[in-house]
Copies of this chain bind each other. A is one copy, B any other.
């Protein structure tokens, strides 16, 4: 019997939950420098995008599109960055990142540039509310 899915502890520690789409758990990264949604397909033992079944790849694609539109609408960002890396956390996860021309790393990729910056609590709650409304999901 396949073991059930559970969220990688490092991903859990670095994020707050937004809610669940049909396939993916949606998380908000704990870094106010770059509002970033992380989509984690709720399938056990997944590491590579190419290991997803074709119909689940298409579902994940649709959810990336949904998440990217929600994040863009909620943040009014200048650019979206989308990335599935997974060198340090093996569990398959996709970053959907809102970029601004005045953010801490622009125009470089976000990784390794600036230390994570905590959200102001009220600002984070407002962002979570806006994202859940646009994603049509309840509280995480």
CA distance A49 to B67 in the complex (A): 12
CA distance A86 to B97 in the complex (A): 12
Which residues, 36 to 72 on A, are CB-close (under 8 Å) to B?
Answer: 47-50, 57-58, 61, 64-65, 68-69, 72
CA distance A107 to B50 in the complex (A): 20
Return A81 CB to nearest CB of chain B, in Å.
5
Which of B50, B65, B85, B113 contacts A68, CB < 8 Å?
Answer: B50
Interface residues on A, range: 20 to 34
CB of A108 within 8 Å of the partner chain: yes
Let me know if B82 and A65 touch, CB within 8 A: no
Q: What residues of B have a CB within 8 angstroms of the CB of A81 in the complex?
A: 83-87
Let me know if A61 and B68 touch, CB within 8 A: no
Q: What residues of B have a CB within 8 angstroms of the CB of A108 in the complex?
A: 87, 111-112
Return A36 CB to nearest CB of chain B, in Å.
13
Which of B65, B69, B107, B113 contacts A57, CB < 8 Å?
Answer: B65
CB closest residue in chain B, given A68: B50
CB of A109 within 8 Å of the partner chain: yes
CA distance A68 to B49 in the complex (A): 9
Let me know if A72 and B50 touch, CB within 8 A: yes
Residues of A in contact with B (beta carbons under 8 Å apart): 47-50, 57-58, 61, 64-65, 68-69, 72, 79-88, 99, 106-109, 111-113
